[in-house]
Amino acid sequence: DGGNQREFDYFKLTVQWPGTFCRRTRHCCASNACCRGSNAPAEFTIHGLWPDYNDGTWPACCSRSRFNEKEISTLVDALEKYWPSLSCGSSSTCHGGKGSFWAHEWEKHGTCSFPVLRDEYSYFLIALNVYFKYNVTKVLNDAGYLPSNTEKYPLGGIVSAIQNAFHVTPEIACSNGALEEIYLCFYKDFKPRECAVGSILLPDMSLLKGSCPKYVSLPAYVS
């Protein structure tokens, strides 16, 4: 099934900072990554791999294909570590039901990555590989931007570190002054590219998704 919308133009890998997300979510519960205390991830984890259009819009829910965890059984260990759901509330799926974070991401975004990624297994495998190859956590750590509940870091410095490493400008989203998500864009062959043409380029060169102050925090997880 090739989907019911025109083919996308490029991919956007979205990674999230657990220390920020877990502070604001009201759905933390004992069983999820958010509340695992010292086991909580100290690295950016995957939110999704999103097909986008150059005009700033995106397709969603492109086929009737339902998430089937059996198809990704060999990837589950890696996905639990690098693509955990940080929210305990179940997510809406494209067909009116409720499902896991993985089900939500596959049905909403993954199904739109056809024909580049042809099935659920390819979608999750490629997302993991791209995430490993473009390791934002390592780039920020190497530049001295370490998790902290006291430090604030210049947004321009964070953007520069990523530009120097990958030669493209990331989009960045914040929540309550803390960095929450970083978006990296890719051509269909997974070479890095700039995100949507026409995004507003800020003085510090970042393409802003959500509102970030000039200095942002990278909160360490507190149980």
Instruction: Please identify every residue annotated as catalytic.
Output: 47, 105, 109
Q: For residue 40, what are the CA distances in angstroms to 34, 115, 214? A: 6, 35, 27
For strands 215-216 and 98-99, give the pairing.
Answer: unpaired
Which region, judged by CB under 6 A, interacts with ligand 5GP, from 72-80, 83-91, 160-168, 185-193?
83-91
Instruction: Please choose, out of 64-72, 102-110, 119-127, 185-193, the segment that lies near ligand 5GP by the rule CB under 6 A.
Output: 102-110
CB 127 within 8 A of CB 106: no
Q: Which residues are CB-neighbours of 152 under 8 A, at least 6 positions away?
A: 177, 215, 216, 217
Say how many C-beta atoms besides its own lie within 10 A of residue 25's C-beta. Answer: 16
In whole angstroms, the minimum distance from the beta carbon of 169 to ligand 5GP comes to 14
- Measured from the CB atom, the residue of 24 and 214 that comes closer to ligand 5GP is 24
The answer to whether the CB of 111 falls within 8 A of the CB of 85 is no
Tell the smallest beta-carbon distance from residue 152 to ligand 5GP (Å).
Answer: 23
Contact between 162 and ligand 5GP (CB under 6 A)?
Answer: no
Minimum CB separation of residue 142 from ligand 5GP in Å reads 25
Map residues 15-54 to x or -, x wherever contact with ligand 5GP holds by CB under 6 A.
-x----x-------------------------xx-x-x--
Distance in angstroms (rounded) separating the CA atoms of residues 107 and 95: 9
When the beta carbons of 84 and 147 are compared against ligand 5GP, the nearer one is 84
Q: Which residue has the tokens 């960095």?
A: 179
Binding stretches for ligand 5GP (CB under 6 A): 12, 16, 21, 47-48, 50, 52, 58, 85-87, 89, 91-92, 101, 104, 108-109
